[in-house]
Amino acid sequence: MEQYLSMEEIDAYLDKLYEKNNQVHPKYKARRFDLSTPRGRLRHYCGEDNIGSPEYYFLSSTSILSSLLAKGVHFNRWLKTYGDKSDEIMQKKGWIGTITHIYCSMLIWGEEVDTSRGIYNEVFDKIVPVPDKVKRRLMAFVKFYEETQVIPIATEILLYNPHKQKGQVGEIFTYPFGGTADLVCWMPQGEGKPPRLTLCDFKTGNDYKHEHELQLTSYKILWDSLYAKKFGEIEDLCCLYLTERGNYKLKYYKFVPDEWFRIIDMMPYFFDKKVKLPKELPNKYVIQSLKEIKDERLSKKADIQNRN
């Protein structure tokens, strides 16, 4: 057996895991795309039935916020300190976050995580061992579960709703944004109290109050529009901050829909109305003149064989 896992193997495993365990399945099938925009390469969601139609590509909530909100003075100082190395550092941190999210999704469904096998890192094109920074965050996640005993309903649940409504000029999308919720669960409230339906996002970095509050708000809006009738509206919003020291912090946030929709109202000013899709390249190639010569030779050969 190979001593490493590829992302394709992990994705296939997780798809089966979510299909088996999630009580909630996406109402609309959609795919994620990282597309070039004037504000950099940003994550988009598009329904599988509408791929190729630019108006159905919705920016992710996190891409909207990262493009429009400043991280603050401490982040600016960090950029000044690391300069040209900042992109590489951010890529490494992003990779640590991705692997941590994957392993937490496995743990919450009772799967055993074996970090002895390395993982192929596509960004740096090499096989890397699972770093201690991930392992300590997994220790923190196990501690979180043991202390809260949450009851998961869904992990990595797609939030995409192409519903339209009447606007001043024709129809407009009601929810022109998308996302993926890390965990929707019943959060115990203590003896004698009913659990509350909670949407929790896993974080491996610092807490940014406004950005995370708005992100969670957008997810609740989407969840409630898609699944509230069957499973109920989200009651609480929180982020689970997993630190590289092996500790965790569970921080609750307010639901601020007015503030979120103010940002959505500004999007036409900051972003193009329609995304520019990359040109789809052909899968088959041929030099036509050589193909015609080859076909002619084959035709002559067939004629000779038929005469004989």
pLDDT at 188 over 80: yes
Residue of 29, 46, 270 whose CA lies nearest to 176: 46
Strands 196-203 and 236-242: parallel
| Counted domains in the chain | 1
Cα angle at 206 between 200 and 208, to 5 degrees?
A: 75
Radius of gyration of the chain (CA): 24
Q: Quick one: average pLDDT of 267-283?
A: 74
Kindly list the strands in the beta sheet with 118-121, ordered across the sheet, starting from the edge strand earlier in the chain: 4-5, 118-121, 126-128
Strands 151-159 and 171-173: unpaired
Residues 126/130/132/135 CA torsion (nearest 10 deg):
160
pLDDT digits (tens, 9 = 90+) for 50-106: 888 888 889 999 999 988 875 554 544 544 554 554 444 445 556 788 889 989 999
Instruction: Go through the chain and tell me how many residues it has.
Output: 308
Q: Coil, helix or strand for 254?
A: coil
pLDDT digits (tens, 9 = 90+) for 209-246: 999 999 999 999 999 999 999 999 999 999 999 999 99
Lowest mean pLDDT of 13-17, 84-88, 286-290, name the range: 84-88
Place 170 in a pLDDT band, splitting at 50, 70 and 90. confident
Query: What pLDDT is recorded for position 299?
Result: 77
pLDDT at 26 over 50: yes
Alpha carbon 64 to chain centroid distance? 13
Q: For 237, which DSSP code?
A: E
Query: What pLDDT is recorded for position 2?
Result: 45
Lowest mean pLDDT of 176-190, 211-225, 278-292, name the range: 278-292
Q: Quick one: average pLDDT of 271-298?
A: 75
Q: For 33, which DSSP code?
A: E
- The structure tokens 């529009």 sit at 225
Side chain identity at 131, as an amino acid letter?
A: P
Q: Quick one: average pLDDT of 178-189?
A: 96
Lowest mean pLDDT of 22-26, 199-203, 248-252, 280-284, name the range: 280-284
Q: Quick one: average pLDDT of 258-285?
A: 81
Place 38 in a pLDDT band, splitting at 50, 70 and 90. confident
85: containing domain: 4-307
Query: What pLDDT is recorded for position 11?
Result: 79
Residue of 110, 94, 205 whose CA lies nearest to 155: 110
pLDDT at 171 over 90: no
Work out the percent of the chain whose per-residue pLDDT is above 70: 85
The strand pairing partners of 239, in sequence order, are 201, 251
Q: For 49, which DSSP code?
A: G
Residue of 198, 200, 21 whose CA lies nearest to 111: 21
pLDDT digits (tens, 9 = 90+) for 105-163: 999 999 998 888 777 666 556 677 888 999 999 999 999 999 999 999 999 999 999 99
Strands 58-59 and 30-37: unpaired
pLDDT at 175 over 70: yes
Query: What pLDDT is recorded for position 67?
Result: 84
